[in-house]
Chains A and B, each alone.
Chain A
């Protein structure tokens, strides 16, 4: 029997997704659209945070691509508020990928504005895939516990902005903010951390300023 011949490949298997993501990003930039990849575990208030943010972005058109495994409750909620939103159901897949976003972007017929892409509720896989965004927004909560940066480091490492939601519940939960921030800072020196409450509709102003600065940059 002849010996095996080894052929060197050294090719990243992410390539195809990364390529499509780069194309989408370029297309969006050319149209004057700033895109945010909104990540977080299920139930952290991703849609609720978007509603608070979009309400305060009154002079800019906001678009939302909603990613869910099933159902379209979030999209219905946004459409009822007059937001241009579209639903993607992955039917089981744990994250959105660039080809899925490419199709949705075409369907939304975007003009200049801000595109929020709400990823599947999951603190693991969405952090690993670029989907054409300019920045990644990570939403965490005081109810999840302060150990999340230590348990799900990649999401915190990749985030450009971190929001801690449900801060109105701080008196009732054991959230160790120092431990949380220490963990985040070990992974990520630059992302600002904003504490908010969607329920009380509080403290979103600084997030708006951050987004507006990023758009101008």
Chain B
């Protein structure tokens, strides 16, 4: 449910960049959302249309790229997606450490 304020913020940032570039409207917002970012892409989509109404993003398409979290294997160096209830590397059974992959939450670009 904390997607409401963040969706508002996304629209504000998109509008700010559109104005800076003298654009009349935003046609597309390219957003990158890691699964461990704390934000759920489908909830952002849900709020987007409602909040975008009356803004420069009124007709914008929200394109969300989801990123799966990956651990780094301390033994073989492989980046892997973990299985439930385990942090073990599927290749060598070594121990995985968290990385920043999957924690992304940023606006890549807008199209105007």
Contact = CB atoms under 8 A, between A and B. Distances in A.
7 contacts: A8-B109, A9-B109, A9-B110, A13-B9, A93-B1, A150-B85, A187-B97
A5 B98 CA distance: 37
A125 interface: yes
B8 to A, nearest CB: 10
Tell me if B's interface is mostly helix, strand, loop or mixed: mixed
B70 interface: no
Contacts of B36: 153-154
Interface of B: 1-2, 6, 9-10, 13-14, 17-18, 21, 23, 27-28, 36-38, 84-87, 95-98, 105-112
Nearest to B9: A13
Contact of A7 (B38, B106, B110): B110
Contacts of A82: none
A6 B10 contact: no
Q: Give the interface centre of A13, A14, A157, A183 by most chain B CB atoms within 10 Å.
A: A13
Chain A interface: which size bin?
A: 20 to 34
B9 A4 contact: no
A10 B108 contact: yes
Given A13-B10, A94-B1, 14 more contacts: A5-B23, A5-B112, A7-B18, A7-B112, A9-B108, A11-B107, A13-B13, A13-B106, A93-B1, A150-B85, A150-B86, A153-B36, A186-B97, A187-B87
